[in-house]
Amino acid sequence: MRQIEAHGPSPEPRAYEVWFTHLAGRNRPLSRALTAELTETPRLEPAAIDRLYDQYLSPNRMAAHAEKASLGVLTEIDSVMGTLDDALGSTTRYGDRLQEISKDLAPGVDLELIRNAVSRLVAATRETASANRALESRLKETRGEVQDLRQALESIRTENLTDPLTTLANRKHLDATLIQAIDHAALSGEPLALLMIDVDKFKDFNDNWGHLTGDQVLRLVAMSIKGAVRPTDTAARFGGEEFAVVLPQSSLKSGEIVAERIRQTVMGRELVKRSTGEALGRITVSIGVASFMTGDNAMMLIERADKCLLHAKRSGRNKTVCEDETVEAFSDVA
């Protein structure tokens, strides 16, 4: 605690874990990196703590390394496939050119020695081509196998980042995307908004109609979110019946517009039980909207958006609430 007081930041869980691990001597790479940070500046900002935690302590770091490795494998596969494509036609082109040279040496021309040399060369090339055809056939098979491997890796990578029920991004993907978006916003000065979305009275709905119908509700909400955001946005299942959307290059007002579009789309859809065709009524969502502020880390931005969501739910549900003085006051009272 004395080290945290001396060097900062405030004793939040991440900062405590980073300093505790360092002082306990349990992670030498972390200690080296932390010491290097302190040589640059005597104070560790929240962003530096987040960076150290994500790189050396986060439970998701091995998955991130695996993700990076898989991307490298995919790149190498693309390179190998290009090389195979180039190799497949080289022998045929070589033989064709030699055959053209042989035809150019017409009979009757006093170049018998040259014709004989070229003929022997052509014969040798044919033998080489015959041997290479087997190799070429094998290369084609290998190319197909490499393509299958690439597709399998791409499928695994996608599955690793996707929530299987809703097909939105999963929490791991959301966390990584939000950290990158915050870093970009901090460097570029561009705005960034975050939506936190919760299905109203989902537990009651689940209890009344069963978990399978509850899953159908989550899919419907996910579909509504997908249709309301841009390709550059990241929509994710945050957990349970809660969703999140990262909106790069979006102000608080822009985030509110997207949130309202999602809320109204969900409210406008009537749910029908597939097995019986029975109408189950309509569902609603509550949404909190927060925007990036200088010095924010991912946890801080999520907490503010979550406070807005809580305000929306406590003030009647089926609402969008943006962070403002009213929400801050409400949070203080709560």
Q: Is it true that the peptide bond before 191 is cis, omega within 30 degrees of 0? A: no
> What's the CA gap between 189 and 160, in Å, rounded?
31
Active site residue 154: no
> Judging by beta carbons within 10 Å of its beta carbon (0-12, 13-18, 19+), is residue 261 exposed, middle or buried?
middle
State phi, psi for 324 to the nearest 5 degrees.
-160, -170
Question: Where do the DSSP E strands lie in 32-152?
Answer: none
Task: Kindly report the number of other CB atoms within 10 A of residue 19's CB atom.
Answer: 20
- Residue whose token pair is 């290479």: 132
Q: Catalytic one among 37, 136, 241, 256?
A: 241
**What is the 8-class DSSP label of residue 271?**
E
Nearest to residue 271, comparing CAs of 312, 220, 225?
220
State phi, psi for 297 to the nearest 5 degrees.
-115, 180
Q: Please say whether the beta carbons of 162 and 215 come within 8 A.
A: no
Q: What is the largest CA-CA distance in the chain?
A: 108
Write out the catalytic residue numbers: 241
